[in-house]
Structure 1
Amino acid sequence: MNLLVERVDVWAATIQDRPGGLAEALATLRDAGADLQFVIARRAQEDPGKGVVFVAPLQSDREIRAAAQIGFNVTRSLHAVRVMGLDRPGIAAELTGKLAEGEINLRGFSAAVMGTQFVAYVGVDSLDDATKALEILGKT
C-alpha cells in the first residue's frame, strides 16, 4: 500500500462557546493566509462557556503571528501523524491494528474520505510514539 505518512504540528486555542466563536478564530487564520487541512472544534466540558479548536498546518510567519495573537499555540501534549492514501474498505482498521501491534496507545484518531482518497490524523501522547507511528505506518 502506498501511503504518505508525516508528522504534523497541531495548534490549539480556546474559543468562546457561542455562535461565531469558531468562525472568528478561523477567519483570523484565513485572513493571514492559512490553508488549513485539519480543523476539529468542541466544547470544553471542564470550562463552561469555552471551547477548544485544533488546526493544522500553520506555516508562514504571518499565519503563526496571527494565530498567536488569538491564543493559538503548538500543542506540546498532543503529537500527530497524518496518513494519506487510496481509500479502501477496512483501511482505518488496518492502520489502527498496526499501531496496536506496535503498542502505540492512541490519544485520538480521525479520518475522512474524499473521492478515492483518505486522510487520517493519528494523535499520540509523546514525540517518541509519533516517531514510532511514522516508522510503523511508513512500512505499511
Structure 2
Amino acid sequence: MDLQVEQVEVWAAGIQDKPGGLAGVLATLRDMGADLQLIIARRSPDRPGEGVVFVTPLEGDREMEAAAMAGFNVTQKQHCVRVLGRNRRGIAAALCGELAEAGINLRGFSGAVIGPQFVAYIAVDSQAEADQATAILLAI
C-alpha cells in the first residue's frame, strides 16, 4: 500500500466554551499566516465553560510566536503520526489492526476521506510509540 507517513507536532490551547471562543484563537493563527491541516476542538466535560483545541501544523517563528501568544503549546503528552493515502474500504481498521498487533495503544484517532484520498491522525503516548508506529505504517 502506498502511504505517506510522517510525525507531526500538535499544538493545543484552552478556549472558552462560548460563541466565538474557537473563532478567536483560529483568527489569531490565520492572521499570522498559518495554513492549518487539522483542527479538533471540544468541550472539557470536567471544566464547565472551557474547551480545548488541537491544531497542526504550525511552521516558522512567526506562526509559533502567534500561537504562544494565543495560549497554544506543543503537546508533550501525545505524539502524532499523520497517514495519507488512497482510500479503500476498511483502511482505518487495517491501520489500527497493524498497530494493535504491535501492542501500540492509541491515545486518539481522527480520519477523513476527501475524494479518493484519506488522511488519518494517530496519537500515541510516547515518542518511542510514535517511532514504532511510523515504522510499522511505512512497511504496510
1-structure distance, mates of 2:115, 2:49:
37
Please give the secondary structure, in 2, of the residue aligned with 1:135. helix
> Residue 99 of structure 1 corresponds to which residue in structure 2?
99
Gaps of 5+ in 2: none
Please give the secondary structure, in 1, of the residue aligned with 2:19. coil
1-structure distance, mates of 2:25, 2:44:
16
2:70 aligned with 1:70, yes or no?
yes
Please give the secondary structure, in 2, of the residue aligned with 1:103. coil
How many Å apart are 1:70 and its aligned residue? 1.1
How many Å apart are 1:87 and its aligned residue? 0.2
* Alignment TM-score, normalising by the size of structure 1: 0.99
Residue-by-residue CA offset, 1:68-110 (whole Å, 9 max, x unaligned): 0011000000100000000000100000000001110000001
Aligned residues: 140
1-structure distance, mates of 2:79, 2:49:
26
Please give the secondary structure, in 2, of the residue aligned with 1:76. coil
Say what the alpha-carbon RMSD is for the aligned residues. 0.4
Please give the secondary structure, in 2, of the residue aligned with 1:24. helix
> Residue 118 of structure 1 corresponds to which residue in structure 2?
118
Gaps of 5+ in 1: none
